[in-house]
């Protein structure tokens, strides 16, 4: 395989869930966020915002009200840096408004562009953190309470919280975790479903994994999230 320093960072990255209490410099944080901004962005709109959450009261409220998974709570409490990754159309809409340009955003483009832009930026941030010796882990469950986050963090309409990125100095050194073999995920010209043997092989790499977590959202919770998305301007 080809090797260089960028690929080394990519291939050695793994989620880190134990952090030292050591602080992280503002310069490091700004570098990570700037790296996020360098990701490709549809129509150069940068439809994202990143909220650094440093206030302990706000952190506590978010943990208590959005995260039930014990081990996730633990590393959230340890992580010195929390960056909430949001899709943000509010800034772009205002930018167009002040130029008297009517915005043509529709629900489909807001959904697709917003999520793709923010996700690409988020991964750049993860890799930037890794490249300067920091560890990180995402927290997905925060998206189950979009309105609560909007209230706590004063998010305007058309800003949607997607995922939280926790960053810190690693206090563990796990190995990179297995992935599907390339022959299974890389298709040429047509999709080919993996054979049973590949499925069984893969299953052996996934011990301790609870298939139900976190996808089994209770029906009422799913309905609540969808309603809140609409109230926040995303009719997804």
Using rule CB under 6 A, residue 14 touches ligand FMN: yes
Q: Which stretch binds ligand FMN (CB under 6 A): 47-55, 94-102, 135-143, 181-189?
A: 135-143
Choices 32-40, 47-55, 107-115, 132-140; region in contact with ligand FMN by CB under 6 A = 132-140
Specify the stretch interacting with ligand FMN by CB under 6 A; choose among 45-53, 138-146, 148-156, 196-204.
138-146
138 in contact with ligand FMN (CB under 6 A): yes
**Based on CB atoms, which residue is closest to ligand FMN, 93 or 170?**
170
In the complex, least distance from residue 109 CB atom to ligand FMN, rounded to whole angstroms:
21
Q: How far is the CB of 176 from ligand FMN (least distance, A)?
A: 6
Query: Which position has the token pair 């706000």?
Result: 58
Question: Applying CB under 6 A, does 229 fall inside the site for ligand FMN?
Answer: no
Tell me the chain's radius of gyration from C-alpha atoms. 19
165 in contact with ligand FMN (CB under 6 A): no
Of 30-69, binders to ligand FMN (CB under 6 A) are none
Q: Show Cβ contacts of residue 199 under 8 Å, excluding neighbours closer than 6 positions.
A: none
Q: In the set 79, 81, 149, 163, which binds ligand FMN (CB under 6 A)? A: 163
Residue choice 51, 125, 137, 145 for contact with ligand FMN (CB under 6 A): 137
Determine the Cα–Cα distance for residues 170 and 16; give it in Å rounded to an integer.
Answer: 6
Min separation Cβ 16 and ligand FMN, Å: 8
Asked if residues 113 and 143 have their Cβ atoms less than 8 Å apart, the reply is no
At its nearest, how many Å lie between ligand FMN and the CB of residue 235? Answer: 22
Task: Check residue 141 for interaction with ligand FMN (CB under 6 A).
Answer: yes
For ligand FMN, the binding residues in 63-102 under the rule CB under 6 A are 72
Indicate if the alpha-carbon torsion angle 34, 148, 225, 229 is positive or negative: negative
Closest by CA position to 89, among listed 142, 42, 139: 42
Q: Which of 113, 139, 159, 232 binds ligand FMN (CB under 6 A)?
A: 139
- The half-sphere exposure of 59 on its side-chain side, counting CA atoms within 13 A, is 18
Report if residue 140 touches ligand FMN, rule: CB under 6 A: yes
Query: How do 159-168 and 135-139 pair as beta strands?
Result: antiparallel
Which residues contact ligand FMN (rule: CB under 6 A)? Answer: 14-15, 17, 72, 137-141, 163, 177
């Amino acid at each position: 395989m080809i090797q260089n320093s960028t690929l080394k960072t990519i291939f050695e990255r793994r989620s880190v869930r134990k952090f030292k209490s050591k602080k992280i410099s503002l310069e490091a944080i700004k570098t990570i966020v700037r790296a996020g901004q360098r990701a490709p962005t549809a129509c150069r709109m940068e439809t994202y915002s990143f909220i650094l959450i440093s206030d302990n009261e706000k952190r506590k409220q978010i943990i208590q009200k959005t995260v039930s998974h014990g081990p996730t709570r633990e590393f959230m409490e340890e992580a010195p840096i929390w960056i909430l990754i949001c899709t943000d159309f509010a800034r772009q809409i205002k930018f167009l408004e002040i130029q008297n340009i009517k915005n043509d955003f529709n629900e489909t483009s807001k959904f697709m562009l917003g999520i793709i832009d923010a996700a690409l930026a988020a991964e750049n941030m993860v890799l930037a953190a890794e490249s300067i010796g920091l560890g990180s882990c995402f927290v997905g469950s925060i998206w189950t309470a979009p309105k609560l986050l909007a209230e706590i963090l004063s998010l305007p309409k058309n800003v949607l919280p997607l995922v939280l990125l926790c960053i810190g100095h690693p206090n563990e050194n796990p190995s990179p975790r297995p992935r599907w073999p390339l022959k299974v995920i890389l298709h040429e010209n047509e999709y080919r479903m993996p054979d049973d043997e590949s499925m069984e092989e893969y299953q052996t790499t996934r011990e301790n994994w609870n298939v139900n977590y976190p996808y089994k959202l209770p029906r009422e919770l799913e309905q609540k999230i969808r309603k809140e998305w609409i109230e926040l301007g995303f009719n997804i």
